[in-house]
Amino acid sequence: MTRAIMVRHILAALVTALAIVPPAATADDGPTVLLPQAPLPAPVPAAEQTPVRRLWTGTWEAAASGTVAARPGASIRNVLHLSVGGNGLRVRLTNRLGTQPLRLGAVTVALQESGEPKSPDAEPGSMRRATFAGARTVTIPAGQDRVTDAVDLVVPYGANLLVTVHTPDNSGPATYHRTAKQTNFIAPSGDWADVEDGDAYTRTTTSWYYVTGVDVLDAPAAGSVVALGDSLTDGGGTTSDTNRRWPDRLADRMAALPPNRRLGVLNAGISGNRLLLDGVGPRALTRFDADVLSRTGVRAVIVFEGINDINGTPAETDPGAFEKAYRTLVTRAHARGIRVIGATITPYGGHGQWREARESVRRSVNTFIRTSGLFDAVVDFDAAVRDPRFPHRMRAAYDPGDHLHFNDAGMRAMADAINLADLRRL
């Protein structure tokens, strides 16, 4: 069809359409007749509508470090400091290192009473029962974790969350995180899990029992970052009940970023942990799936492991073993699309276990971390804390006295050495 013929057809159609449109009504035309209109499309049934996707983000973690005698009949109230907030939450409970099924008679969550970091009291009105597929109780097989259903509780950034578990029976050794640097509470007898008042919690502990993770819903964040380490990440040397570990300081820095650049911070440090050998907790190579890859929304991991391999018994003297282990971790993380930031091993000259030969291993490993190109980025903790005059030692201002761990100021210097952009670059 030529262009001229097409134009004539279009004009004819317009003339026909104008001819059937009634003229404007006048007083002599009688009542106006409304012509039928094309029906509106029927609404889509609710069951067929595309649901709005709501995202979970990791906000807190404690890696399982070992077992301790169970407390049958007790209620244990754990205090957890959240790195990002959200409009709901879910809790991961663990029997990972247990030897028999663990029965939890009740699990509750609540906000800790405002301004009371050493109190077992819940903020009035914040107590919620957690369920598991709708049930209030759960039995967790040995070697496994269970995650609660979503709990309808709004939690702000930096909140202290109370997670209380009641263990009615003797379920064998309890999986716990030994070094919490946080006062937690025990009601020796009875189910006090959903009681806001903390008077029944007459005993304290500095460990976290059974709880190993918290996720939040609709967080103003783009995912999470895991800090994989030993006591230097777990908090050794810092002031208890103040949340001054370097991952806590990192979370504070993250909070100042816009949501599309912010990450929840998950502390997977275990005091005494090693990269190459099992010891206090499974070695980093063994626990990488459970403590990093299985966590919610992980975008990056900071690997800060190795000092206990150099400094421990038996001591690891082959830098090549470290290099092989780091390559394994990077390969496994990259397979999941997770960035890996390598952290240099910090100095410990003056400590009773320091030796010149061990210092040589530390420096060789650090050279590999800095120059190999294996990692997506490097954070040079060694350079951030060492004494310029005596590079095998940390600055005196960062030393709590044992020449190995870091005080609050040292932890802050380490966190401030991290380039936040390195955690998000693709």
Rounded average pLDDT over 359-387:
98
pLDDT band at 279 (very low <50, low <70, confident <90, very high): confident
Rounded average pLDDT over 41-47:
48
Q: Could you tell me how far CA 3 lies from the centroid of its own chain?
A: 66
Rounded average pLDDT over 172-197:
98
Asked whether residue 30 carries a pLDDT value surpassing 80, the answer given is: no
Q: Tell me: the pLDDT tens digits for 391-411?
A: 999 999 999 999 999 999 999
Enter the tokens of residue 32: 């106006």
Rounded average pLDDT over 304-317:
95
Rounded average pLDDT over 121-149:
98
Handedness of CA 126, 227, 299, 283 (dihedral sign): negative
136 contact partners, CB below 8 Å, separation of at least 6:
106, 129
Q: How far apart are CA 219 and CA 55, in angstroms?
A: 8
DSSP state, 7?
Answer: H
pLDDT of residue 97: 97
pLDDT band at 14 (very low <50, low <70, confident <90, very high): very low
pLDDT band at 9 (very low <50, low <70, confident <90, very high): very low
pLDDT of residue 116: 83
Dmax (CA) of the chain:
112
Asked whether residue 12 carries a pLDDT value surpassing 50, the answer given is: no
Identify which has the larger pLDDT, 36 or 228: 228
Enter the tokens of residue 261: 């650049």
- The share of the chain scoring above pLDDT 90, in percent, equals 85
Average pLDDT, the chain: 90
pLDDT of residue 208: 98
Assigned CATH topology for domain 221-426: Rossmann fold (3.40.50)
Output the pTM of the full model.
0.87
Q: Among 41-50, 127-136, 309-318, 374-383, where is mean pLDDT lowest?
A: 41-50
What is residue 18's three-state secondary structure? helix
Q: How far apart are CA 239 and CA 72, in angstroms?
A: 31
Asked whether residue 44 carries a pLDDT value surpassing 70, the answer given is: no
Asked whether residue 27 carries a pLDDT value surpassing 60, the answer given is: no
pLDDT band at 233 (very low <50, low <70, confident <90, very high): very high
pLDDT of residue 54: 78
Q: Tell me: the pLDDT tens digits for 237-263?
A: 999 999 999 999 999 999 999 999 999
Asked whether residue 19 carries a pLDDT value surpassing 70, the answer given is: no
Phi, psi for 27 (deg, rounded to 5):
-65, -25
196 contact partners, CB below 8 Å, separation of at least 6:
110, 121, 122, 123, 124, 126, 127
pLDDT of residue 52: 52
pLDDT of residue 67: 97
Tally Cβ neighbours within 10 Å of residue 326.
24
Q: What proportions of the chain, in percent to the nearest 5, are helix, strand and coil? A: 25, 25, 50
Q: Among 50-64, 100-114, 228-242, where is mean pLDDT lowest?
A: 50-64
Rounded average pLDDT over 295-301:
98
* DSSP bridge partners of 104: 138
pLDDT of residue 258: 95
Phi, psi for 156 (deg, rounded to 5):
-85, 160
Asked whether residue 34 carries a pLDDT value surpassing 50, the answer given is: no
pLDDT of residue 45: 53
pLDDT band at 39 (very low <50, low <70, confident <90, very high): very low
Could you tell me how many residues make up the chain? 426
